[in-house]
Structure 1
Amino acid sequence: MDLPLFITPDQPTPPEQLGVWVPMRTRTALEVESHEWQAAPLVVVDDQAVGALVERGLPRRTGIVVLVRDEDDASIWERAVAVGAEYVVQLPLAAAWLELRLHEATGCAYVMWDQSPGEGPCDSAPTTTGS
């Protein structure tokens, strides 16, 4: 299974700094390869990397989320459209939403059931019965 892709402007940043706990492949905007871009189930892009991605002319795709640092930067909307983003979110406000999208993109392969904060039936670990 291909991992989600986290694209940064320069130094590869550990995905843990996003506050989400789903493994991601991290690349800078200049080093991401076209096949990685196309194969990733979800692409998370730091807003500072959007310009370099647009200049590279990578093919259009679905499943792009842009992470905004400065919510007052009105230019992000034009840049997000240029890269084909479906969503523009700000962390840490959207950390839970982003984590859910990452789990969805990976088929929940990385859910840590024993650390689930919820109490509802959808939040608990699946149970199996032995025969």
Structure 2
Amino acid sequence: MTKLSFPRPDGVAPGNGYSHVVTGPGQWVAIAGQVALDADGKFVGVGDPAAQARQVFANLDACLKAAGATFADVVKMTYFVTDIAYLPAIRAARDAYVDTANPPAGTAVQVVALFSPDALLEVEAYAVIN
């Protein structure tokens, strides 16, 4: 596990569920945007943002493990959502995996569409490991 630092920048309002800055030494790991596809490539939770968020974070967890990382190593996540109203469901799924006292940096973007009309959200992650 990487020793990450979460400096609090002066003059910047506190993040609501994310950190503004995360630093750490080590190897950079980029995880491509994950959607709610199961191991067979079928969508989980069509029309259900909470179910999709749980699958997305399970996929992210599997990808991190494949790289020798955990969510404790994640420094940044980007959330692409077709409706910003899905953020509470996404945060609930995320909070099962991340340290909510020191969450990764994050950006949420509402988009018109993702690669499939069944996809309600996509999340990419960056981690730093030793």
**Which TM-score applies when normalising by structure 1?**
0.29
Whose radius of gyration is greater, 1 or 2? 1
Structure number with the higher helix fraction is 1
**Which TM-score applies when normalising by structure 2?**
0.29
